[in-house]
């Protein structure tokens, strides 16, 4: 029985000896979200949670993974603390820059540490924790009316283009069109677009009846609803302008081809007159005979 107790005590003692005395207590970044090419200062508050002193502490931000779009800026990604007494805290500051090619998102950065336990003369190396940094750019969405000739007094089909000209990708985007005098939408007003990557675009098609009383210049209010890379929701109100024509105006401006109906009708009338003329002429010849 005594032997079993002694063995258990030894195992517990050995386990505690290798439990980390080092802890990351808090992490702050300024600014909280960084844009591509911007400098960010990361403050890491460390604490010796045990009573034993530790020395030769090295804290390193591991930026070696190519998927992490950060690099040290005017300083090292590694900090050295000569000694940290039991229960003491210290704040380490790192200056990083987000690479110009950084995509918006949340990035996990490994923090590697090594230190020596002064009391027990034990070295502990390559302990890894994780911190997170956010890259997020302002979303820049623009809406355009795609070239279409809209005619009063008939049903028309037209498209609205949504262009993402910013650095940040857009997720779960919706476009909603609103009421305008003289226009009755046949298709659903709210259309789901989905994701629009940076420097990309998408289009949404609508069907609408444009009444005879519609203005020649339509100003269509629309609402864009979407989420950014951090899942934050945005709602933007925009306006699209486009022209509306009567059929006669569109034909005069050469925007639509003139209908061949009138030409066919005229030709048909001439043929009928010609046939009638020939019939009457034949009758007169028969009467003379």
Q: Do domains 21-135 and 141-259 have the same CATH topology?
A: yes
Task: Please tell me the predicted confidence (pLDDT) of residue 280.
Answer: 64
- pLDDT band, residue 86 (cuts 50/70/90): confident
Task: Please tell me the predicted confidence (pLDDT) of residue 212.
Answer: 93
Give the CATH architecture of domain 141-259.
Sandwich (2.60)
Mean pLDDT highest for which of 5-14, 19-28, 128-137? 128-137
Cβ(40)–Cβ(103) under 8 Å?
no
Where is average pLDDT lowest: 17-31, 75-89, 229-243? 17-31
Average pLDDT over residues 23-40: 93
> How confident is the prediction for the chain on average, in pLDDT?
84
Average pLDDT over residues 78-92: 92
- pLDDT band, residue 11 (cuts 50/70/90): very low
Task: Please tell me the predicted confidence (pLDDT) of residue 13.
Answer: 34
Tokens representing 53 are: 């002193």
Q: Domain limits of the chain?
A: 21-135, 141-259
Task: Please tell me the predicted confidence (pLDDT) of residue 50.
Answer: 81
Closest CA to 173 of 223, 115, 98: 223
Where is average pLDDT lowest: 47-56, 87-96, 116-125, 159-168? 116-125
Task: Please tell me the predicted confidence (pLDDT) of residue 287.
Answer: 59
Cβ(204)–Cβ(177) under 8 Å?
no
- CATH class of domain segment(s) 21-135: mainly beta
Task: Please tell me the predicted confidence (pLDDT) of residue 261.
Answer: 47
Task: Render pLDDT for 228-264 as a digit per residue (tens, 0 to 9).
Answer: 988 999 999 999 999 999 999 888 888 877 655 445 4
- pLDDT band, residue 167 (cuts 50/70/90): confident
Task: Please tell me the predicted confidence (pLDDT) of residue 187.
Answer: 95
Task: Please tell me the predicted confidence (pLDDT) of residue 138.
Answer: 84
Task: Please tell me the predicted confidence (pLDDT) of residue 123.
Answer: 75
Where is average pLDDT lowest: 17-26, 114-123, 206-215? 17-26
Task: Render pLDDT for 105-161 as a digit per residue (tens, 0 to 9).
Answer: 899 999 998 888 867 777 777 678 899 999 998 889 999 999 889 999 999 999 999
């Amino acid at each position: 029985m005594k032997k079993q107790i002694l063995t258990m005590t030894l195992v517990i003692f050995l386990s505690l000896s290798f439990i980390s005395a080092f802890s990351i207590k808090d992490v702050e970044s300024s600014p909280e979200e960084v844009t591509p090419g911007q400098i960010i200062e990361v403050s890491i508050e460390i604490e010796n949670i045990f009573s034993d002193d530790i020395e030769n502490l090295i804290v390193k931000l591991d930026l070696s993974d190519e998927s992490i779009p950060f690099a040290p800026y005017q300083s090292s990604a590694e900090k050295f603390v000569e000694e940290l007494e039991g229960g003491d805290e210290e704040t380490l500051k790192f200056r990083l820059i987000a690479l110009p090619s950084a995509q918006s998102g949340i990035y996990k950065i490994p923090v590697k540490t090594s230190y020596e336990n002064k009391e027990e003369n034990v070295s502990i190396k390559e302990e890894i924790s994780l911190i997170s940094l956010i890259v997020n750019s302002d979303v820049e969405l623009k809406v355009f009316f795609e070239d279409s000739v809209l005619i009063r007094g008939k049903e028309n089909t037209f498209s609205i283009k949504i262009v993402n000209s910013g650095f940040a990708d857009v997720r779960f985007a919706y476009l909603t069109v609103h009421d305008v005098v003289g226009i009755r939408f046949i298709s659903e007003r709210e259309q789901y677009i989905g994701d629009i990557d940076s420097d990309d675009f998408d289009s949404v098609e609508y069907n609408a009846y444009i009444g005879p009383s519609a203005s020649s210049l339509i100003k269509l209010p629309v609402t864009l609803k979407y989420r950014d890379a951090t899942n934050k929701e945005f709602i933007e109100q925009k306006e699209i302008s486009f022209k509306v024509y009567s059929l006669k105006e569109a034909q005069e401006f050469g925007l639509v081809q003139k209908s061949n109906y009138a030409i066919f009708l005229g030709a048909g009338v001439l043929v009928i007159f010609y046939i009638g003329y020939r019939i009457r002429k034949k009758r007169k010849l028969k009467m003379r005979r």
